[in-house]
Structure 1
């Protein structure tokens, strides 16, 4: 979680002043009783009202609460904003904990156009504590990102520029890769061609 916190500090420092004010305003909206901190009930109530219930998972709140006092101050709460904006609210499919650091993904699900993915924590993967389809190929998230980039680089430069330009806003690796796969390999071929081999 500390690497996410470091990313948040860097991200926040680069926000325009209007966005920083909006972050403070959002924090105050969450802090219903005005005590300068957000308790679990305020957190859940706000996210439920915003129809963001996938962020109400207890393990996310616990991970955000750096000092473990049962509430979030502003510095802890802006981590939530970052997690929501970056898509980092990933829960282990086996033990249901928040995946703050390295985790494993099924590469076949990752490249599947349906958008459904399957992620598990390192402990569940290492301990074989998961149930998934028999031909799954698991990769850690960092290797999957690097491998995805190599697939993008295989696309002819003319098509790569066009596709990357299309996806310039809100760039998400899975979307780009699937988009490129449709141009060059086909999604099914891409998943079967992709192997996670780092050792």
Structure 2
């Protein structure tokens, strides 16, 4: 006698699926949720739950309070390209081109804060290669972080902090500020 697998219709996609495709929910009569795992995953991705969870986990791991607003979460969710190399990103977990959160200033070091202005979206591979480098030093060493991308990066960073569109002269001043700051840090803590 063959054992038949019990199935259920998802209330969202209306497809009949095995119970293993649903999460358990004791409050429901059949003991399972009405939404399949795939629909739940799609919904969480669309409404920002995954991004909020990433921020919450980061706050827990770094043992520092975060002050992220819905604005930065929305910015992370709507990002389509890496801020450093300009390449198109994806949402495939663990992929080199997955768009992840990066602290412009390393979160555990100099000026690294869990605030909106210090967060950008970049490829997982760019995040790994940047590591704890100052953003200017990363710009200098990366073949992918072009002059055009550097200019746009500084412009967007200044725009977030100043709350207005900076002039070209202000952008050049910010660029020089990043260069001076990186040089000062190299003097204070030279590489081993």
Smaller-chain TM-score bracket: under 0.3
TM-score by length of 1: 0.26
TM-score by length of 2: 0.27
Choose between structure 1 and 2: higher helix proportion: 1
Choose between structure 1 and 2: higher strand proportion: 2
- Structure number with higher relative contact order (C-alpha < 8 Å, ≥ 6 residues apart): 1
Larger radius of gyration: 2
